[in-house]
Amino acid sequence: MTLLPPLTEDELKRYARHIVLPEIGGAGQRKLKQARVLVIGAGGLGAPALEYLAAAGVGTLGIIDDDTVSLSNLQRQVIHETASIGAPKGESAKAAIVRINPHVAVELHGFRLTAENAPALVAQYDLVIDGSDNFETRYAVADACAQEQRPLVHAAVGRFDGSVTVLKPFEIGQNGAQNPSYRDLFPEPPPPGLVPSCAAAGVVGALTGVIGTLQAMEAIKLITGIGEPLIGRLLLYDALAARFDTIRYKRR
């Protein structure tokens, strides 16, 4: 059995509001400290997810992003600042994380994720958060996580709506059946041009904060072993109606 890392006096004070929760406690906080989480993209979804995971004390955060910060990013990608325009997003995000929590190690991967390189990268981490904005990357990440048996917290956003789910297709669910995969939920990508990009359709900045923070919450639940993760459930959020709905799905 792997021994969990101890918490320093500074960490005990920093995470006091976690440790006082019976569901998390000292053991759960030590699990967070030991965890290695890979975040795909330091953009609209990745920004709030990274900030809250860093604040929560996740020991190692991996960031894969090959883009640079632009002025139009700042409306929603709150981990970056005006002075970071033109800088690599990974470097900008790392600087913010260090400011939030110096106890967190950050590993940067400044290349584009593909179906070929995804498995080796995913295998280095315990859990993956997908904050990508294109279907090619989403399928590559999901397939790699299924192959390497790593939990995946997937999310997507539109103009005023978003969705979140958790994928562990390599495990048997409480119903005795194999958990569904991303391809059970979305068998194939939509035709090119059918789903407009954020640049073309627009997106409310605060919406990405809601969905990205939900991803961080699901990751914390998975790491600490508390609650009921969104496995086999797609959580839908309609920002204009201020309404959450849940759709259940299963293996095909």
Q: Cβ(24)–Cβ(17) under 8 Å? A: no
For Cα atoms 125, 169, 131, give the angle at the middle one, nearest 5 degrees. 50
Q: What is the pLDDT of residue 196?
A: 73
- pLDDT, tens digit, 9 for 90 and up, residues 161-198: 999 999 999 999 988 999 999 999 999 888 877 777 77
Q: What is the pLDDT of residue 174?
A: 86
Percent of the chain clearing pLDDT 90 (strictly above): 90
Residue 213 pLDDT > 70: yes
Number of other CB atoms surrounding residue 124 within 10 Å: 14
Q: Cβ(153)–Cβ(134) under 8 Å? A: no
- pLDDT, tens digit, 9 for 90 and up, residues 96-142: 999 999 999 999 999 999 999 999 999 999 999 999 999 999 999 99
Cα–Cα distance, 179 to 169 (Å, whole number): 5
Binned at pLDDT 50, 70 and 90, residue 199 comes out as confident
Q: What is the pLDDT of residue 63?
A: 98
For Cα atoms 235, 131, 195, give the angle at the middle one, nearest 5 degrees. 75
Q: Rg of the Cα trace of the chain?
A: 18
Q: Cβ(74)–Cβ(165) under 8 Å? A: no
Query: Among candidates 47, 19, 21, which has minimal Cα distance to 33?
Result: 19
Cα–Cα distance, 158 to 163 (Å, whole number): 9
Side-chain half-sphere of 15: how many Cα atoms within 13 Å? Answer: 30
Cα–Cα distance, 217 to 212 (Å, whole number): 9
Binned at pLDDT 50, 70 and 90, residue 81 comes out as very high
- pLDDT, tens digit, 9 for 90 and up, residues 29-68: 999 999 999 999 999 999 999 999 999 999 999 999 999 9
DSSP 5: P
* Range of lowest pLDDT (23-37, 78-92, 141-155, 183-197): 183-197
Cα–Cα distance, 217 to 73 (Å, whole number): 23
Residue 1 pLDDT > 70: no
- Mean per-residue pLDDT of the chain: 96
Q: Cβ(60)–Cβ(32) under 8 Å? A: no
Percent of the chain clearing pLDDT 70 (strictly above): 100
DSSP 71: G
Phi, psi of 247 (to 5 degrees): -110, 130
How big, in percent rounded to 5, are the helix, strand and coil portions of the chain? Answer: 40, 20, 40
Binned at pLDDT 50, 70 and 90, residue 201 comes out as confident
Q: Which two tokens stand for residue 198?
A: 């954020």
Residue 212 pLDDT > 60: yes
Residue 216 pLDDT > 80: yes
